[in-house]
Amino acid sequence: MGNSMVVDWNDQLKNQFIKDKCIEHDLLGSIEIYTYIPDDQVKIFSKTLQLMDQQYFIEKTKLNHPNLFRALFIEKCSNFCSRDQDRYRIYYDYPGEETLETLMKKKQKPFYESAIWSIIFQVVDCAEYLQNQFKSISNISLNTLYPKEKNLKILEVNHLFNIISSYDQALQNCISILSPEQIDQLERNVRFPQINNFKSDVYAFGIVLLCLTTKSDFKSFYNQFNQLEKNNIFQSLQTIKINYSELLQGLIQKMLIDDPEERQSWIDLKKFLDPYKLLQEQEQPFYLDVKLCPQITPQVPLVQSPQKNQINQFIPNQPQIVNLTQSNLQTLWLPGVSNNNQIQHIQQGYQSNIIYGSEYSPQLMNPQQLIYNHNALTNYQSPQINNQGNKFIQQSPGSQKGIDYVQPTLNIRQE
């Protein structure tokens, strides 16, 4: 039989699941929830839909990643037909109702930094998996990320539940998280934008992280016309270091670079973050010791995005708008480099999966002092990452070879 497994869902539902309740879910609409009898923390849901065929659902079943909700089973309802559509009942993992947005609103203290890094590692790992399959998430926001007991879960664009992309939401006059290049296409009334969706998703995730680290609503970074409020973004970036490390602050700044030619893709980010992920798995709070933000050296001519040519309006009592580019990041936000080139093992408690509470962060250096550490970057190794014409220059905190990812089997119990 190998690693394959055939699941008889009719038998599973009859003998191992009990129907719990019917609810109206914020994103999924009207659904029925079933609870797994051996473990009441495991739930799935079903929804009845009219579909042309099963192909879209079948494509969803091929996505197999621990941070995605699984498409489990589809069955045709008997004796029903409407024009070219049949009625089907589909079964999915149940996301629950608590999102990062609802969790953030309930919290009074900042998130642990370890929790922020856990979110980063999981989202980047999942998005890189999708990028390798030429698929994008396309709707990253606080209300599509679900903190579960074992894994963060991502509810990507799914037409079965009318979960549309952030760009399509903006076309319907809704304020949504858009990248600068998406905003440019939106202002031109482009229905299907010709952009790098992976890099737009990276920008959207940068906004999500900015919200989590500053406890802000994403709408504070956009105006009523879905244009970026760059002054607010700039000021919020400066406040991150009050509670968090320079490494985290620098990473978010890199995600929010205006020009997509300079911004990294998910593949780039994962290759950079893998050594740090290994340290977290070893319960070493690397962010308390490492003072090095990755410097990105473009290898191709940079193409300015249209937003850079716009005249910035001066707002009284606020700093002038600063476009986030690679060149000014090197001047304004280059983190300091510790004199100790080796990462020491820090002997203290570390809770990698705890999301509640606050965590101590060391006093960070004045940004003006950090400018003089630019030459220190030459002391660090520079593994080449050739994707979209960019490379990282970084200190490698650990082995580049992490634990191989093993695709989970379609078991009922989440592993």
d(CA 295, CA 396): 13
Boundaries of domain holding 156: 100-305+316-393
Residue at 34 is within a domain: yes
Q: Is 302 a residue whose pLDDT tops 60? A: no
Residue at 409 is within a domain: no
Supply the pLDDT for residue 81: 62
Q: Is 381 a residue whose pLDDT tops 60? A: no
Supply the pLDDT for residue 330: 41
Specify whether 70 is located in the same domain as 142. Answer: no
The radius of gyration of the chain from alpha carbons, rounded to an integer in Å, stands at: 23
Residue at 272 is within a domain: yes
Residue at 190 is within a domain: yes
The domain spanning residue 298 has which CATH number?
1.10.510.10
Specify whether 65 is located in the same domain as 110. Answer: no
Lowest mean pLDDT among 8-17, 181-190, 295-304: 295-304
- Residue 104 CB partners (closer than 8 Å, separation 6+): 111, 142, 211, 212, 215
Lowest mean pLDDT among 195-209, 261-275, 299-313: 299-313
Q: Is 346 a residue whose pLDDT tops 60? A: no
* Interval 29-39 mean pLDDT: 93
Residue at 268 is within a domain: yes
The domain spanning residue 68 has which CATH number?
3.30.200.20
Q: Is 258 a residue whose pLDDT tops 90? A: yes
Q: Is 312 a residue whose pLDDT tops 60? A: no
d(CA 134, CA 248): 28
* 209 confidence band (pLDDT: 50, 70, 90): very high
Other residues' Cβ atoms within 10 Å of the Cβ of residue 227: 15
Q: Is 233 a residue whose pLDDT tops 70? A: yes
Specify whether 211 is located in the same domain as 348. Answer: yes
d(CA 197, CA 321): 25
* Interval 201-222 mean pLDDT: 97
Supply the pLDDT for residue 295: 45
Looking at 93, 111, 127, which one is the last position of a domain? Answer: 93
* Interval 97-110 mean pLDDT: 93
* 13 confidence band (pLDDT: 50, 70, 90): confident
d(CA 336, CA 316): 31
* 46 confidence band (pLDDT: 50, 70, 90): very high
Other residues' Cβ atoms within 10 Å of the Cβ of residue 56: 13
Specify whether 114 is located in the same domain as 241. Answer: yes
Q: Is 202 a residue whose pLDDT tops 90? A: yes
* 325 confidence band (pLDDT: 50, 70, 90): low
d(CA 182, CA 29): 28
* Interval 33-42 mean pLDDT: 91
Supply the pLDDT for residue 76: 85
Lowest mean pLDDT among 42-56, 159-173, 255-269, 311-325: 311-325
d(CA 238, CA 147): 27
Tokens describing residue 167: 């760009």
Query: Into how many domains does the chain fold?
Result: 2
φ/ψ of residue 25, rounded to 5: -85, 145
Looking at 38, 65, 93, which one is the last position of a domain? Answer: 93
pTM over 0.85: no
Q: For 22, what's the count of Cα atoms within 13 Å in the CB-facing half-sphere?
A: 3
Checking 363-371 for CB contacts under 8 A at 24+ apart, the result is 364/241, 364/245, 364/246, 365/246, 365/291, 365/335, 365/336, 367/332, 367/333, 369/336, 370/333, 370/334, 370/335, 370/336, 371/331, 371/334
For 35, counting Cβ atoms within 10 Å of its Cβ (0-12 exposed, 13-18 middle, 19+ buried), the class is middle
Tokens describing residue 382: 């520079």
* Interval 334-345 mean pLDDT: 35
